[in-house]
Chain A
């Protein structure tokens, strides 16, 4: 794949700067649990300090910045892994208890626990 090789060799600083503007939507899984939603976002190459989570009303923004994966002297033979950071926006239709959101990363997977707010939980009403 000579075409790609030359493309990468000619990578100018401007081309590298452009990298930040390309985003990839990561794969994610949502599990509904009794009192929380468990979201797993697959972002290989993203370390703990590369994750930024912002909550804004009923929207949650997740941004994952990858570390540079390749060495400076490496010449690509073929490439499939995109050279882009991750961005994901999720809309929440349930009220979330913002103060007790838990987030952790492990081996390129972001685990998010979004507890459902007390007011939004289903409750039994006893008939008097």
Chain B
């Protein structure tokens, strides 16, 4: 959400339209994120250490004519501990964040989040990479569903 950029309407009232399209995108989590943004903390992802909160980490959904791109913030997570699942139009990113304490004991925190992408994804060509704690999932769109130019003969 870009709170800073929302312009007040003429009467001085701030009006916004927010679409809640899944469980993880609910009103409360929006408020949480607003506080995080305003006060600058980042409890979203590591916050799961204390309260088991499956909404957890932040994600972005982008698209261009060829692909959908999902970005997820997963700092400190090993790539072998991440599971990515695509079912119909829903992409689920889940996994475990493992950390080792000083005494050698290993702790693991489970995280999971689902977001709705388009239903025109070629499921077996989905690619993912993990770079500096940012997971990028590239979901190619099906050829026959892409917009095409039709010339008038």
Query: Which A residues form the contact surface with B (CB < 8 A)?
Result: 1-4, 7, 23-27, 29, 31, 33, 38, 40, 42-47, 67, 69-71, 73-82, 105-109
Q: Is B88 an interface residue (CB 8 A)?
A: no
State whether B63 touches A81 (Cβ < 8 A). Answer: no
State whether A7 touches B102 (Cβ < 8 A). Answer: no
Interface size on B, residues (CB 8 A): 41
Q: How far is the CA of A67 from the CA of B132 in the complex (A)?
A: 10
* B1-56 with Cβ < 8 A to chain A: 1-2, 5-6, 16-19, 33, 37, 40-43, 45-47
Q: Which of the candidate stretches B71-79, B104-112, B121-129 sits at the interface with the other chain?
A: B71-79
- Chain B residues with Cβ below 8 Å from A70 are 60, 62, 69, 71
The smallest C-beta distance from B51 to any residue of chain A, in angstroms, reads 14
Closest residue of chain B to A2 (Cβ to Cβ) is B17
The smallest C-beta distance from B115 to any residue of chain A, in angstroms, reads 8
- Chain B residues with Cβ below 8 Å from A3 are 6, 16-17
Q: Which of A73, A108, A109 lies in contact with B134, CB distance below 8 A?
A: A108
State whether B46 touches A80 (Cβ < 8 A). Answer: no
Q: Which of A25, A44, A76 lies in contact with B73, CB distance below 8 A?
A: A44
- Chain A residues with Cβ below 8 Å from B64 are 71, 73-75
State whether A109 touches B60 (Cβ < 8 A). Answer: no
Q: How far is the CA of A82 from the CA of B42 in the complex (A)?
A: 11
State whether B71 touches A81 (Cβ < 8 A). Answer: yes
